[in-house]
Amino acid sequence: MSKSKTHVVQLPSSKLNPLIMPKSEKTHIFITGATGYIGGSVLSALLAHPRANSFQITALTRSPEKVVPLDSVGVVAVVGSNQDHEKLTEHARESDVVFACADADDLEAAKAILLGLKKRYEATDKSGTGVLADDAAGNYATDKIYSDLDIPMIESLTKTQPHRYVRTYIILPSTVYGIADTSLVKLGIQNPYSIQIPSLIKSCIDRKQGGVVGKGSNVWPNVHISDTATLFTTVFDAAIKGPGEASHGREGFYFGANGEHRVGRISEIIAELLYEMKLGKSPEPTVFTEEELQKYFGGPYLGSNSRVRAERAKLIGWNPLHTVDSLWASIKPETEALADMQNI
């Protein structure tokens, strides 16, 4: 279950853009969305990383009050947002790795980050068409001539060619669930709640009855928030070893999923819980009207299908620990917490 404007599922906002870092220096990491549900979990995983002492992390935050707490865990905080394109470019230019965990639909922010990484490359490597260099060793002239209008030919360059100025890794989590329980949550820095399932719970509380879209027969994949964080660090670990360790660019899409569920089953569990809590009229969910779908979710996306297999991530060592049983178990604490937050 996902909505394109959210940063957690469809394009949950997730590009990892590393350059090769000098071994003798600290790895400079810039992260956006660091106080959000996914970004905060990724930042927590980086702070707990075995090589954390070799990282210098800068985080973008919209909240001035979170500067001091971030500083207390060794993170340099910059106040700003995805709309501050000059800041994005500036800090990307100063970084070896960028984790973009804010709004994935923000094209201008993505362009600003890529511009910064391009500027970093240009400042450290002026080889230009060296990206096309072959291994002739002076013994022959090649007949292969590149045109800057022949994009497929340029894209056919192997991953090991020098001077390809940025490597991108796009991470696409599915239905991310579970209340985040990280050190940053305890410090009041990170939002511990997802968007999709909590949105469904809130709508059911508001209408005083569990709701379902159509027959609830559509299917979506799922992934626990802690497994999502390890997906990011698994790709990161592989990426910094070199371009041959993890596919990138057009082949650099990594799904985050470890099981799938019938979406209507979530609605059924919520309806049962609300009925037990005396917040629902029936233990059986009723069908959302068109007006309700628009009111609560901006449309009928909740009734869509999305089925994937996270094969590429597992090939590089991602080992998610939570199955769909963890999803079912997560719904009760989420429902209780949200009901409590609304003082019901």
**Rounded distance, CA 262 to CA 272, Å?**
16
**Rounded distance, CA 264 to CA 317, Å?**
32
The 8-class DSSP code of residue 288 comes to: P
Are the C-beta atoms of 271 and 285 separated by less than 8 Å? yes
Q: Give ∠ CA 290-295-299 in degrees, rounded to 5.
A: 55
Q: Which CATH superfamily is domain 15-125+165-267+300-341 in?
A: NAD(P)-binding Rossmann-like Domain (3.40.50.720)
> Would you state the pLDDT for residue 149?
65
CA 50, chain centre distance (Å): 21
Q: Where are the domains of the chain?
A: 15-125+165-267+300-341
> Would you state the pLDDT for residue 13?
35
The 8-class DSSP code of residue 130 comes to: G
Exposure of 223 in the CB half-sphere (CA atoms within 13 A): 31
pTM of the prediction? 0.85
Q: Give ∠ CA 146-148-149 in degrees, rounded to 5.
A: 110
Q: Give ∠ CA 108-132-156 in degrees, rounded to 5.
A: 65
Q: In the numeric block, which tokens belong to residue 6?
A: 């959210």
**Rounded distance, CA 328 to CA 333, Å?**
10
Are the C-beta atoms of 13 and 100 separated by less than 8 Å? yes
> Would you state the pLDDT for residue 132?
54
**Minimal CA–CA distance to 131: which of 166, 167, 168, 163?**
163
**What residue ranges of the chain have pLDDT lower than 70?**
1-24, 124-140, 146-151, 153-165, 344
**DSSP 3-state of 58:** strand
**Rounded distance, CA 91 to CA 337, Å?**
37
> Would you state the pLDDT for residue 105?
85
Are the C-beta atoms of 105 and 33 separated by less than 8 Å? no
Are the C-beta atoms of 42 and 229 separated by less than 8 Å? yes
